[in-house]
């Protein structure tokens, strides 16, 4: 059986990276008939301090972002993690399966904890075991993510393999990361060697899903580039991280490939290409931000969608957590 699961943290707002690396691809795969489960991972968000009112709002806004991006809560399951207790239950079991050394190797842990690991929360360290629980609680087989989450999905595979081996069962499937498209790693607009991130101190480094047309245009106009014209083939982008990033964004927004984009714009200067990119970005993103704002006017409707999604998620999760605890030997 083929089942998709993915999650997004309701911490800070959504960026163009989240849209191209995740949401847009979720919407595209919706009509394949595969069961898809998408989670607002509020329990992951609190691994670093979140102001409670901001977390509530960000969770609703994220749900609005899913729907505005074209994910239909009837076809897919949309819910927030903390409403399905199985995530925490299975994460505990996986905390006891995973090894400290596995967690220590995670690049996101090293980046986020920084030099002062002693002062990071225990939850931040254990985070990948919770993510494994998210995926395996539904016996998901495919996990669409951006490139930055690949290592965590690989760790999920290791946890599934070790659990099955330790208990002598063939219970958890070994899930595959699905990392596809022209923009699996959208970079900062200010520095082509850094990921576009909601936590970047400079707002000019990212495009937020809630940015208006003027903000989008001004961020793209000021985006770092080099003085050369655009090449006519992808090889010409080697060593030109900022140029490559803008071309990849253009390709992903227009549902084509980098080669196709360069066939059209090769030879042009950035002074010509940037306005094309910003028109495209505004055309694609504005309707989404308008719809998000409209949905946010009615928070109780969003809460009802999340509650209904959680109910459907629990139907799948309950037999899996029950069976897991039984395999472990816990009296039921």
Considering only CA atoms, give the Rg of the chain: 21
**Residues 192, 22, 158, 176, Cα dihedral to 10°:** -110
| 41 is a site residue for ligand TYM (CB under 6 A) | yes
Among 65, 73, 86, 146, binds ligand TYM (CB under 6 A): 146
d(C-alpha 174, C-alpha 286), whole Å = 38
9 is annotated as contributing to ligand binding: yes
| 195 is a site residue for ligand TYM (CB under 6 A) | yes
79 strand-pairing partners: 39
24 is annotated as contributing to ligand binding: no
For ligand TYM, which is the closer residue by CB, 156 or 225? 156
Contacts of 264-268 spanning 24+ positions with Cβ under 8 A: 265/230, 266/230, 266/231, 266/232, 266/233, 266/236, 267/229, 267/230, 267/232, 268/229, 268/230
Cβ 47 to ligand TYM shortest distance, Å: 9
d(C-alpha 160, C-alpha 175), whole Å = 9
| 134 is a site residue for ligand TYM (CB under 6 A) | yes
d(C-alpha 326, C-alpha 319), whole Å = 10
The reply to whether 112 belongs to the active site is yes
195 is annotated as contributing to ligand binding: yes
198 is annotated as contributing to ligand binding: yes
Exposure of 167 in the CB half-sphere (CA atoms within 13 A): 21
Cβ 171 to ligand TYM shortest distance, Å: 19
154 is annotated as contributing to ligand binding: no
Please identify which of the residues 24, 195, 219, 274 carries the catalytic annotation: 195
Buried b (16+ CB within 10 A) or exposed e, 63-87: bbbbbbbebebeebbbbbbbbbebb
For ligand TYM, which is the closer residue by CB, 135 or 220? 135
| 44 is a site residue for ligand TYM (CB under 6 A) | yes
Quickly count: other Cβ atoms within 10 Å of residue 168's Cβ.
8
197 is annotated as contributing to ligand binding: yes
Among 4, 18, 200, 270, binds ligand TYM (CB under 6 A): 18
Among 137, 196, 243, 302, binds ligand TYM (CB under 6 A): 196
Task: Estimate to the nearest angstrom the gap between the alpha carbon of 199 and the chain centroid.
Answer: 14
| 84 is a site residue for ligand TYM (CB under 6 A) | no
From the list 250, 252, 241, the residue with the least C-alpha distance to 275 is 250
Please identify which of the residues 110, 115, 150, 198 carries the catalytic annotation: 198
Judged by CB under 6 A, which stretch of 145-153, 266-274, 277-285, 302-310 contacts ligand TYM?
A: 145-153
Among 148, 200, 211, 242, binds ligand TYM (CB under 6 A): 148
Q: Contact letters (x/-) for ligand TYM, 160-189, by CB under 6 A?
A: ------------------------xxx---
Among 4, 8, 58, 243, binds ligand TYM (CB under 6 A): 8
Cβ 314 to ligand TYM shortest distance, Å: 17
From the list 144, 127, 136, the residue with the least C-alpha distance to 174 is 136
- Sequential DSSP letters for 176-214: EEE--SS-SSPBPSS-TTSB--TT-S-GGG--BTT--HH
From the list 44, 177, 12, the residue with the least C-alpha distance to 109 is 44
Interface residue list for ligand TYM (CB under 6 A):
5-9, 17-18, 20-22, 41, 44, 131, 134-135, 143, 145-146, 148-149, 152, 184-186, 195-196
Annotated catalytic residues are 112, 195, 198
Residues of the binding site for L-tryptophan: 134
């Amino acid at each position: 059986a083929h089942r998709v699961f993915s999650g997004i943290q309701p911490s800070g707002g959504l960026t163009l990276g989240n849209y191209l690396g995740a949401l847009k691809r979720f919407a595209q795969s919706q009509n394949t008939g595969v069961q898809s489960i998408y989670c607002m991972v509020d329990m992951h968000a609190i691994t670093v301090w979140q102001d409670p009112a901001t977390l509530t709002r960000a969770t609703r806004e994220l749900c609005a972002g899913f729907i505005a991006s074209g994910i239909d809560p009837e076809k897919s399951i949309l819910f927030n993690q903390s409403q399905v207790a199985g995530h925490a239950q299975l994460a505990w079991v996986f905390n006891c399966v995973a090894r400290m050394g596995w967690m220590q190797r995670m690049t996101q842990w090293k980046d986020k904890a920084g030099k002062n690991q002693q002062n990071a929360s225990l939850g931040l360290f254990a985070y990948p075991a919770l993510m494994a629980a998210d995926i395996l609680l539904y016996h998901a087989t495919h996990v669409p993510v951006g490139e930055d989450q690949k290592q965590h999905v690989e760790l999920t595979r290791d946890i599934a393999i070790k659990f099955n081996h330790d208990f002598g069962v063939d219970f958890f499937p070994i899930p595959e990361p699905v990392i596809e498209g022209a923009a699996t790693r959208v970079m900062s607009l200010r520095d082509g060697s850094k990921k576009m991130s909601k936590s970047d101190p400079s707002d000019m480094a990212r495009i937020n899903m809630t940015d208006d047309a003027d903000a989008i245009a001004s961020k793209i106009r000021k985006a770092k580039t080099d003085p050369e014209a655009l090449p006519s083939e992808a090889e010409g982008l080697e060593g030109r991280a900022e140029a490559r990033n803008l071309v990849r964004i253009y390709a992903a927004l227009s549902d084509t490939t980098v080669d196709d984009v360069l066939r059209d714009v090769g030879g042009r200067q950035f002074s010509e290409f940037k306005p094309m990119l910003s028109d495209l970005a505004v055309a694609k993103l504005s309707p989404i931000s308008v719809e998000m704002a409209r949905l946010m006017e009615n928070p109780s409707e969003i809460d009802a969608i999340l509650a209904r999604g959680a109910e459907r998620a629990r139907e799948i999760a309950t037999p899996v957590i029950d069976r897991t605890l039984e395999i472990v030997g816990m009296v039921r």
